[in-house]
Structure 1
Amino acid sequence: MRPISGDDVIAAVEGCVTALGTAVDRDWKGVRAGGLEWSCRRTAEHIADDMIGYAGRLAIGAQGRLPYGVTVTEDAGNAGVLDVIRSTAALLATTVRAAPRGLRAFHPYPFGSADREGFAAMGVAEVLLHTHDIARGLGIAYEPSENLAESVLTWLFPHVQPGPAPWPTLLWATGRGELPGRAPVTEWRWRNNLVIPAERLTLVGVRPAAARDLRLGGDGGFEWIDGGPYEGTREASGFLVKAYEAGVHRAEFGVFVLVRHEDGRAIGGIGFHGVPDEEGRVEIGYDLVEGARGQGYATEALRTLTEWARARDDVDTVFATIEGDNLPSQRVVSRAGFTRATVEEERTAHEEHGMDSELQLHIRRS
């Protein structure tokens, strides 16, 4: 997998400067940027402000907004504004490259934080989308690389079904364009991945880009202990990719990689088999790399994710299906508070929900 990085931030800004540099002699203050209320000049300054804001938060792992921003002097020309964009983007790119794996800092949408890849993706998104707005206002041509647009989609828009091409899809997803067969978008937010802390682990939500890599045999951007990831994580990642491509993926009910606090290494995976059904029932599954078994990690992860789900209004019951001879997994669910379903409940699961006859049903109710 080629993770989104500081290099992508620089590439996005190079495209921005190349396109807008052809119009530095134009009036940016008196022209609105595309469909925005801001002028082209104000929008360009906003790009720089986001770059420095993202860099500052990520640099120290800030858990809130920092009380500073970019102010471009009134007498600076448009070429000077582009220089400010280039310099602040360089700071963000450098910070992304230097940030340790797993560091997170504040960003409100939708779970309150982002990691280094998330900040890189947000930086690229700001550049691509607002360069489009400015270019549209000035009436000049602009189209970024499809690779950059696809990276933004797979890192920040897991809820958006891929379209025929990444750039038109990104414009549609952010209310800036149309796609055949899809309703116009009037409200939107990008989505950083969800992380859920446990005592010895962090459950790190897997993005479509990482899931695709895991499915194809890669590491998904994680550092695994020997033998990882286990086959169940790869299989679950494949289901995530299929859901994403079908436009039905919801990241909070996707796949999570279990990252150990003591060394930052991945030891397994856990997640849901889809969104809750109309009765609020959702299935959970998990696996561990062999070297991490027998230490209570599976129980800890299962208990943590189950409690997170049960606190939601749309979940009433969490259940797991386990082979009848898999005694270790049965002990895990029991320690996590699950109980064996009744004979009638299992019969219904077999006959009406297609559960394999060799599986047992274990339930954790609200």
Structure 2
Amino acid sequence: MLSMGGEQVEQAVASCVAALRPAVDRDWEAVRARGLEWDCRRTAEHIAGCLLAYAGQLAGRARDAYVPFEITLGGTDDGLDRADNAGLLHVIETTGALLAATVRTTPREVRAFHPYPFRSAGREGFAAMGVAETLLHTYDVTRGLGLPYEPPAELCEGVLAGIFPHVRPGPAAWPTLLWATGRGELPGRAPVTEWHWSNTLVLPADRLTLQGISPASARDLSLGGDGGFDWAGGGPYQGTRDAAGMLMKAYEAGTHRPEWGVFALVRREDGRAVGGLGFHGSPDEDGRAEIGYDLVEAARGQGYATEAVRALAEWALARDGVRALFATVDRANTPSQRVLGRAGFRKAGGDEEQLAYERS
């Protein structure tokens, strides 16, 4: 399962150009792209526009809106010869190269504006969105022109795991991505008429950011990798790996909800991850959700856990339908008990081995 980066953007663009180049001598404006109101020419121009826009968002560090610019191909109004289809493919290659370079040179912690669903995305999110736009609209154009097209399976798998974490994986990634975006059918699943992708949620705290972990990162963590994070103190702690494994099981079962998943605790001062924090699942029918957390040993005793738990609790309790959060702690783990107390949790029972804490 690939994490999305510059290399994946380049691969997606290469698959697009290879699929469309055999038809450069045809009239793309005379044929509608399959499933769209646009013709094939306009759809191909849209691919280039998306790639450029995503590069601009990241490079410009856009915070609250799209950077107000768009791509215009040469035409009679500006005194240039109108770009033919071969020229349009060159533009797609160029804008893809711009996005790939921007992704490679943007620090991991940078977030830029994208409206859905949490109003920001990081470099992996913009790479995944660029790949998705390229693959899906190449499909639309090739279907309109009657050309064969099937992108590399690993790209489709990476897109699904990166920005479709709420979609249960299917037996094959490309048909699943087409189904998830209303472009195909999957046996046993209802047709999709409305869809969206989901960038990871990032929550601010004082000295930390709580960065949502995608299924792609979770799988790497569960298998002993770093999940794409720079961990302090030789981390992560085993609890974070176990939580990542639980996230993967939920993803594979189709029950994962990104905002109720697992977060890496990343220090603002150096961009290093110092722990993990998250939910054991979505809130139950009574509006209650369980949390768990850990820190690498080198980061303990500095208030990071309290800061993170408080930030997550305040965010969660502000959601509609959430009434309470709870956590269980070993009776012998007094440091963790103090964390919960400082974060506004109160004792709510227990047994011989564990104490229960709750905040509402």
Q: Which TM bucket (shorter chain)?
A: over 0.9
Find the aligned partners of 1:9 and 1:147 in 2 and give their Cα distance. Answer: 12
Cα 1:7–1:151 change in 2 (3 A) is same
Where does 1:102-141 land on structure 2 (aligned, <5 Å)? 102-141=109-148
CA offset at residue 28 of structure 1?
Answer: 0.6
Q: Is the 8 A contact 1:227 1:290 kept in 2?
A: no
Match of 1:33 in 2: 33
What SS does the corresponding residue of 1:341 show, helix, strand or coil? strand
Q: Is 1:330 equivalent to 2:337 in the alignment?
A: yes
Measure the CA separation in 2 of the matches of 1:2 and 1:34: 28
Aligned: 1:101 with 2:108: yes
Q: 1:184 is matched with which residue? A: 191
Return the letter of the residue paired with 1:112.
Answer: R
The CA distance in 2 between the partners of 1:42 and 1:97, in whole Å, is: 29
Match for residue 89 of structure 2?
82
Q: Which blocks of at least 5 consecutive residues in structure 2 are unaligned?
A: 76-81
Bigger shift: residues 3-12 or 274-283: 3-12
Give yes or no for contact 1:280–1:314 (8 Å, CA) kept in 2: yes
Is there any run of 5+ residues in structure 1 with no aligned partner, and where? 347-355
CA distance in 1, matches of 2:59, 2:3: 19
Paired residues of 1:260 and 1:267 also in contact (CA < 8 A): yes
Matches within 5 A, 1:133-282: 133-282=140-289
Partner of 2:11: 11
CA RMSD of aligned residues (A): 1.1
| 1:153/1:160 contact within 8 Å kept | yes
Q: What is the deviation of 1:271?
A: 0.2
Encode CA deviations 1:55-76: one digit per residue, 9 max, x unaligned. 1110121112111111123422
The alignment's TM-score, normalised by the length of structure 1, stands at 0.95
Superposed CA offset, 1:271-309 (max 9, x none): 000000000010011000011000110000000000000
TM-superposition CA deviations, 1:136-181 (whole Å, max 9, x none): 0001100000011001001010000000000000000000000000
1:361 aligns with 2:356: yes
Q: Where do residues 335-346 of structure 1 align in structure 2 (5 Å cutoff)?
A: 335-342=342-349, 346=350
- 8 Å CA contact 1:283–1:319 kept in 2: the answer is yes
Q: Structure 2-normalised TM-score? A: 0.96
2:79 maps to: none
Name the CA shift for 1:2/1:182 in 2 (closer, same or farther; >3 Å). closer
Counterpart residue number, 1:71: 72
SS in structure 2 of the partner of residue 334 of structure 1? helix
User: Which aligned runs of 4 or more in structure 1 are off by greater than 3 angstroms?
Assistant: none
- What amino acid does structure 1 have at the position aligned with 2:119? G
Question: What amino acid sits opposite 1:164 in the alignment?
Answer: P
2:316 aligned with 1:316: no
Determine what percentage of the aligned residue pairs are the same residue.
66
**Counterparts of 1:55 and 1:290, CA distance in 2:** 38
